[in-house]
Structure 1
Amino acid sequence: MPVAEIRLAADRVLDSAELINGTSEDVFVPLDGVKAAAQKIMSRMQQIGYSTAEWKKNTLTPSVADSAAIEWIFVVDSLNFSFWTDKTRASQYTVTLDGQAYRGYWTLCAAVNRAMREGIPITDAAYLASISKEQTAYVFRTDDPATQESIPMLDERVAVLNEIGRVLLEKYQGRFSNVLRQAQGSAQRLVEMVVRDFACFRDEHMYMDRVVCIYKRAQILVADLWACFEGKDQGLFTDIDKITMFADYRVPQALCHFGALMYSDRLLTYLKNGQNGELLESGHRWEVEIRGNSIWAVELIRRQITALGMHVNAILLDFYIWDYAKEFADEMKDIPIHLTRSVFY
């Protein structure tokens, strides 16, 4: 059956989010909270002039939108998972570049940039297809291996790099830019191609005897390309507003803070009392409910803001909420974060 006759990937994500929301037992999206959150988010986004330009303001992201940036984004988003830690700040996985110490997601960007400066072809498909565990460990080495933890899930990262390198060589002449070109300006088609051809992006789970689709990394890949090119040239997608938010663990915390997401008492107690940080297995019902309802909450916030007269898509809302969560982390410290070791986020 031609792709045009079936529900495309991003549509399946929203369908899944609505299904999860309608059957959830422990995670809820209160409509009053959605309306209040929409008002607050819209006001602040307008006040600070929040836009895709924020993406390029970070010194670690590509400053020039070109073919090299496309390959950089693909590699980074292929590895954009599991940077949380239960270690003290001093012993966390840390990468320092240009005198700045980075933790969390930004260690990935810093390590990739460091490797490129060292002449390591970290965005070359042939290199990635055969990169070893030792080589990967070197690329993503921490500042002080004697006192700091190593990058989480190293074996899984090696497998991801080998897979994307191999698929790019076998199907796309070794360049992700060829995948982008074949998408022909459709964000939906690009997500569909990525989850079809690259298994590591296939963020699907069983929920209520149904397969539900989250596709966090595949969609943020599209979003990063769109933001890097500021919606122009190779980053021009005619259906960019079809992309949903990117369900991770930081944005749900912020949505709870805004009152747009609520947990049952038993789930809240479980998250607060969890031991060693590693609380939920990938695919656990609670994990799926948190992620699915987060997508639905942001979709409802988007609809509310649109009804109030401001055009915004889920991508920009996700970027803003994630940045907000990082900036105001201290205000949210009493809201527990669900943590899952997964290649999907």
Structure 2
Amino acid sequence: MPVAEIRLAADRVLDSAEFINRTSQDVSVPLNGVKAAAQKIMQRMQQIGYSTAEWKKNTLTPSVADSAAIEWIFVVDSLNFSFWTDKPQANQYTVSLDGQAYRGYWTLCAAVNRAMREGIPITDAAYCAGITREQVSYIFRTDDTETQEPIPMLDERVSVLNEIGRVLLEKYQGKFSNVLRQAQGSAQRLVEMVVRDFTCFRDEHMYMDRMVCIYKRAQILAADLWACFEGKGQCQFADIDNITMFADYRVPQALCHFGALNYSERLFNYLECKQNGELLESGHPWEVEIRGNSIWAVELIRRQITALGMHVNAILLDFYIWDYAKEFADEMKGIPIHLTRSVFY
């Protein structure tokens, strides 16, 4: 892969975010809000000593940085999309493990770990390539099939598993560790290879007659590997600071809470009413504006914190803001979340 191509690929997401911010009709990034958010976030991160070590503190993520962890992270990040629900908690998709009930993203981790304990080779490329709908349904079964909803987008998850298994077998001897090896210590190159070879990671959309790139799951894949290995060994990415935040639906809510993201009145009202239950389609201009401006807002927060003397990258900022949004969810109930059924987040 030519060096020039790698350089362009590394800038595509941030270039897209800046373009989206510059041309947005209904989402903006107030600079005063960015400065205030940067101060608050920096102080809090320093106070609690927030670092990559936070990633391993959850009992569901790999505790040992080894080849098995690499394959686990790839499978989980391949399936890391669409866990939101509009159901009451009692009816949400739920997976229990070791006496703990999980919802949202953590159901994915719990279900994968449960499958591995049962001897199901969910991280094996050959198994994924031939996995059936029935097998995926069993692996991601909910605690109570009578009262709880099933995992969203089951058919899409089958398709994703089939694709990643097939591509790994055809191009990488069945191991994602070989993709990582070919990236040669570059997070940018890793993201480029992933979006090139695995279509399910190709988070691209037309906006204002221009193709924009967001690459949420491809970038979080590089970030999770970096966090798991704490920036060492195979995941000592010299260019890790070029990775942007991971535009989903929870972080934009928190950015609005911090005052670093602002919605127009018509967009806010739409999200609050949700048009009688209608969802924003993937690639809708409003969805692209929310996600693109979230990337740009975090980038400006990162620059502001750096100017204040603390080194931080967009990955740690995203991890921190996402954790904050979950911890203080009750405080943000007045800020509507945009909801889109998508394989991209």
TM bracket (short chain): over 0.9
Q: Which amino acid aligns with 2:149?
A: E
RMSD (Å), alpha carbons: 1.0
The CA deviation string for residues 14-35 of structure 1, in whole angstroms up to 9 with x for no partner, is: 0000000000000000000000
Work out whether 1:148 is the aligned partner of 2:148. Answer: yes
Shift of 1:3: 4.7
**Which residue in 1 is equivalent to 2:135?**
135
Percent of paired sites with the same residue: 89
Question: Normalization by structure 1: what TM-score?
Answer: 0.99
Secondary structure (helix, strand or coil) at the match of 1:54 reads helix
Q: Which amino acid aligns with 2:113?
A: N
Give the distance between the partners of 1:233 and 1:138, measured in 2 at CA.
36
Give the distance between the partners of 2:93 and 2:246, measured in 1 at CA.
23
**Which residue in 2 is equivalent to 1:105?**
105
CA contact (8 A) 2:202 2:215 kept: yes
Q: Which amino acid aligns with 1:199?
A: T
Shift of 1:2: 2.6
**Which residue in 2 is equivalent to 1:32?**
32
Change (3 A) 1:5 1:117: closer
Secondary structure (helix, strand or coil) at the match of 1:338 reads coil
The CA deviation string for residues 65-84 of structure 1, in whole angstroms up to 9 with x for no partner, is: 00000000000000000000
**Which residue in 1 is equivalent to 2:120?**
120
Show the 5 A alignment for 1:144-223: 144-223=144-223
Give the distance between the partners of 1:190 and 1:148, measured in 2 at CA.
38
Q: Which amino acid aligns with 2:196?
A: R
The CA deviation string for residues 133-167 of structure 1, in whole angstroms up to 9 with x for no partner, is: 00000000000000000000000000000000000
Secondary structure (helix, strand or coil) at the match of 2:62 reads coil
Work out whether 1:17 is the aligned partner of 2:17. Answer: yes
CA contact (8 A) 2:6 2:189 kept: no
Change (3 A) 1:275 1:123: same
Give the distance between the partners of 2:113 and 2:278, measured in 1 at CA.
29
Change (3 A) 1:159 1:280: same
Change (3 A) 1:63 1:5: closer
**Which residue in 1 is equivalent to 2:85?**
85
CA contact (8 A) 1:33 1:261 kept: yes
Shift of 1:116: 0.1
Show the 5 A alignment for 1:296-315: 296-315=296-315
Change (3 A) 1:193 1:325: same
Give the distance between the partners of 1:86 and 1:104, measured in 2 at CA.
12
Give the distance between the partners of 2:99 and 2:151, measured in 1 at CA.
20
Q: Which amino acid aligns with 2:35?
A: K
Give the distance between the partners of 2:279 and 2:295, measured in 1 at CA.
21
Q: Which amino acid aligns with 1:75?
A: V
Give the distance between the partners of 1:214 and 1:130, measured in 2 at CA.
29
CA contact (8 A) 1:277 1:339 kept: no
Greater mean deviation of Cα atoms: 269-278 or 68-77 = 269-278
**Which residue in 2 is equivalent to 1:292?**
292
Show the 5 A alignment for 1:246-261: 246-261=246-261
**Number of aligned residue pairs:** 345
Secondary structure (helix, strand or coil) at the match of 2:205 reads strand
Q: Which amino acid aligns with 1:249?
A: Y
CA contact (8 A) 1:10 1:244 kept: no
Shift of 1:4: 2.4
Shift of 1:9: 2.9
CA contact (8 A) 1:21 1:28 kept: yes
Question: Normalization by structure 2: what TM-score?
Answer: 0.99
Shift of 1:59: 0.2
Give the distance between the partners of 2:315 and 2:278, measured in 1 at CA.
28
Shift of 1:235: 1.5
Give the distance between the partners of 1:5 and 1:124, measured in 2 at CA.
31
Secondary structure (helix, strand or coil) at the match of 1:302 reads helix
Gapped runs of 5+ residues in structure 2?
none
**Which residue in 2 is equivalent to 1:329?**
329
Shift of 1:275: 4.8
Secondary structure (helix, strand or coil) at the match of 1:96 reads strand
Give the distance between the partners of 1:191 and 1:73, measured in 2 at CA.
14
Shift of 1:179: 0.1
